[in-house]
């Protein structure tokens, strides 16, 4: 079977869940070959082997992670030229999409980003216009480069004993054009990471202030969920911008998305419309978010959210 290269998304050796999703997806269409860039592989190899990896290309050189995304692109471009994989899968994160775009240019290939499903022949599914339209697209030139959104596939373990191959790349001057000068590791709270969480509870302008966001946090904690926010809430300074969901924020696709005091503007939908089940709490029955929901509660969030939290906590 042809190889599918899967770029491992990891932070200092800690592999993100989306990688296991990509490996699961890759196994359905060929041999899943992981590409590891940077240090930390030894600590992660057993975990990768749980997901049916046939081979791991390891580029452990620390220098590769010193220069933003360009070195990863050069390495992948070299692997595409040398190994002729059937496709390359990356996570549709900010970094993953930049890598996908650059790699497509380097390899003169087509690219699909923000894919939420895949069919035979690497036909990618996209959800657009607030989820109202689903489109299917296929790469017709070169090697399909496909950026898949986190949470699009359920990761399935399949133990394997991957072959390992050390690879290296000589970086061009162009790849060294921008260097990482500082890494700020954000404090990891108790909650799951927003783009990887299975459940997200987001608050909007209806929450009415920074202090009131504790209602959103309490509801999120009762469900083991991540907290998100609309741009109205982040612009008002009620919640940090890193938690913004939407066109100019993060894209999430959890199993369950609960929108609290959010109207459902198109720019917000762009970041959450592919969530599997959507619930909204809003006092305005005409709010556009209700066009999108699986379950809606028309009511005052200051009454509904605490009752919901209490009820969920009771049932634990
Ligand atoms: P509002 O639209 O003001 O809605 C608040 C809702 O709360 C209302 O529906 C109201 O009925 C309800 N409410 C009020 N009080 C209560 C209560 N007590 N109980 C229950 N419900 C209550 N927005 C994003 O979210 N993410 C983005 O990434 C983003 N990017 C943008 C990019 C561009 C270029 C532009 C132009 C806009 C962008 N926006 C984005 C802004 C977007 O257009 C909306 O303005 C924003 O999403 C509105 O946020 P909201 O729903 O919280 O506020």
ipTM: 0.99
Kindly give the number of the ligand 1 atom that is closest to the alpha carbon of 248. Answer: 28
- The encoded tokens of residue 217 equal 């946090």
Cα dihedral sign, 194-200-47-113: negative
Shortest CA distance to 280 belongs to which of 218, 219, 191, 231?
219
Q: What pLDDT digit, counting tens, does each position of 135-156 carry?
A: 999 999 999 999 999 888 889 9
Please give the number of the atom of ligand 1 that sits closest to the Cα of 233.
52
Tens of pLDDT along the chain (316 residues)?
799 999 999 988 999 999 999 999 999 999 999 999 999 999 999 999 999 999 999 999 888 888 999 999 999 999 999 999 999 999 999 899 999 999 999 999 999 999 999 999 999 999 877 667 899 999 999 999 999 998 888 899 999 999 999 999 889 998 899 999 998 876 667 899 999 899 999 999 999 999 999 999 999 999 999 999 999 999 999 999 999 999 999 989 999 999 999 999 999 998 999 899 999 999 999 999 999 999 999 999 999 999 999 999 999 8
Q: Compute the distance from residue 264 Cα to the ligand 1 centre, in Å.
A: 6
C-beta 203 within 6 A of ligand 1:
no
Is 87 a pocket residue for ligand 1 (Cβ < 6 Å)? no
Nearest alpha carbon to residue 114 among 278, 267, 265, 251: 251
Closest C-alpha residue for ligand 1 atom 25: 230
- The preferred substitution site among 282, 289, 301, 302 for testing ligand 1, maximizing ligand atoms within 8 Å of CB, is 282
Give residue 307's region: left, alpha or beta (phi > 0; psi -120 to 50): alpha
Alpha carbon distance 117, 295 (integer Å) = 24
Cα of 134 vs centre of ligand 1, distance in Å, is 24
Pocket of ligand 1 contains residue 246 by CB under 6 Å: yes
φ, ψ of residue 16 in degrees (nearest 5): -80, 150
- The tens digit of pLDDT for each residue in 79-108 reads 999 999 999 999 999 899 999 999 999 999
């Amino acid at each position: 079977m042809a190889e599918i290269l899967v770029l491992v998304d990891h932070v200092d050796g800690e592999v993100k869940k989306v990688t296991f999703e990509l490996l699961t997806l890759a196994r359905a269409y060929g041999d899943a070959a992981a590409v590891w860039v940077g240090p930390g592989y030894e600590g992660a190899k057993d975990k990768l082997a749980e997901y049916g990896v046939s081979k791991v290309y390891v580029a452990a050189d620390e220098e590769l992670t010193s220069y933003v995304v360009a070195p990863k692109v050069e390495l992948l471009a070299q692997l595409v030229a040398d190994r002729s994989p059937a496709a390359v899968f990356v996570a549709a994160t900010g970094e993953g999409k930049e890598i996908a775009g650059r790699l497509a240019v380097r390899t003169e290939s087509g690219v699909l980003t923000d894919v939420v499903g895949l069919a035979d022949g690497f036909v990618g599914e996209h959800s657009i216009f607030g989820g109202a339209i689903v489109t299917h697209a296929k790469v017709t030139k070169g090697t399909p480069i496909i950026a898949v959104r986190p949470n699009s596939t359920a990761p399935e373990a399949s133990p394997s004993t991957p072959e390992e191959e050390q690879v290296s790349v000589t970086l061009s001057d162009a790849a060294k054009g921008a260097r990482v000068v500082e890494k700020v590791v954000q404090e990891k709270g108790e909650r799951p990471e927003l783009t990887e969480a299975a459940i997200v509870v987001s608050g909007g302008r209806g929450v009415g202030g920074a202090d009131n966001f504790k209602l959103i946090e309490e509801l999120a904690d009762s469900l083991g969920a991540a907290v998100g926010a609309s741009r109205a809430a982040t612009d008002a300074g009620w919640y940090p911008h890193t938690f913004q969901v939407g066109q100019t924020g993060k894209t999430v696709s959890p199993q369950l998305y609960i929108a609290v005091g959010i109207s459902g503007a198109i720019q917000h939908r762009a970041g959450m419309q592919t969530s599997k089940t959507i619930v909204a709490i809003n006092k305005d029955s005409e709010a556009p978010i209700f066009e999108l929901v699986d379950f809606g509660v028309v009511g005052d969030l200051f009454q509904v959210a605490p009752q919901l939290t209490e009820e969920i906590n009771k049932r634990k």
